[in-house]
Structure 1
Amino acid sequence: MTDTEDAIVDLVAELAVALPARGETLAAAESCTGGWIAKCCTDVAGSSAWFERGFVTYSNAAKSDMLGVPASLIESEGAVSEAVVAAMATGALARSLADVAVAVSGIAGPDGGTEDKPVGTVWFAWAADGDVATERRVLAGDREAVRRASVAVALSGLCERLRGRDAG
């Protein structure tokens, strides 16, 4: 396994302890990762106790239909944007029974990048308790590497936020 794959396994193991201890569940709203976050979470036996559901919303229509992201927002900001990924995360919470959500939208390549949003640009959002945090990264590598790194960043951010809520 690669270092990133090892990190993903460790992060999911942390979630598998932290979420049930809090009595909380997770929903994932994924675009460029295509369900990879959900797959990693459900690789763990017993994950049904803490992984509530995943939304694979690869197309703009799916983001609107499944998560309630306004088509006008996607049109004005672009699918790979802070506003859209935040709406994906809040939509995942609103349309599930989960307590916590993570959302990812990006340009994994090899095509589709622009000067403002080069290949590897990925937006992340984490939602819980009425708050949404977002982060933009430009990740290096080919399509597979960008997608794998996106899963790791999404899960790492989720773990960090859960630890922060525990400390607060």
Structure 2
Amino acid sequence: MWFSYPNDNYESIFVLSSFLLVISEFFRRGEKVIPNAKDIELFSRHMSDNDYIRHYKEHDFLAQFDRKYWLPLMEIVEVWDNAAHHFVNPELDKARKSLYLSAFNLGTTISKYTVPNRDGYISVIVDRNKGCKISASIKMEAQEINSLAKPFVLEHEKFIKLGRKKLY
């Protein structure tokens, strides 16, 4: 048999083994991995309210903003770092960690530089300074918040895309 004694005909053995590897890879990629039910439930809870993301994408934080956009961000910061919010899928959990760190950076910076005002909004400008010329330091604070909002939005988009790909 030519497998046992190839007589310098190694080319056919190479072609056959390559063919078998390609076929096995084709079938391996076709396998559908069943996602973890806990991951699906956790991801679905996060997907339920994403209107606030558009706000962080478009808003200039030199202007005041509504608390309704602040609360979902704070929920990520306060809750998404505990064990109950970890995903079984390692890629998805890595994306969750990235999203959490980005939300934490943005949330702590907003907390540091903003105050609630009389109108029920949150602003970098204190009520007593309304109508006055905006100082350079306040503009820098707003710019710092703006610079952290973009990475948060990007991390959120990556997380959502990966979750949809892995779970649905």
Tell me whether the two structures share a fold, i.e. TM-score over 0.5: no
User: What range is the shorter-chain TM-score in?
Assistant: under 0.3
Larger Rg: 2
Which protein, 1 or 2, shows the higher relative CO under an 8 Å CA cutoff with sep ≥ 6? 2
TM-score, length-scaled by structure 2: 0.27
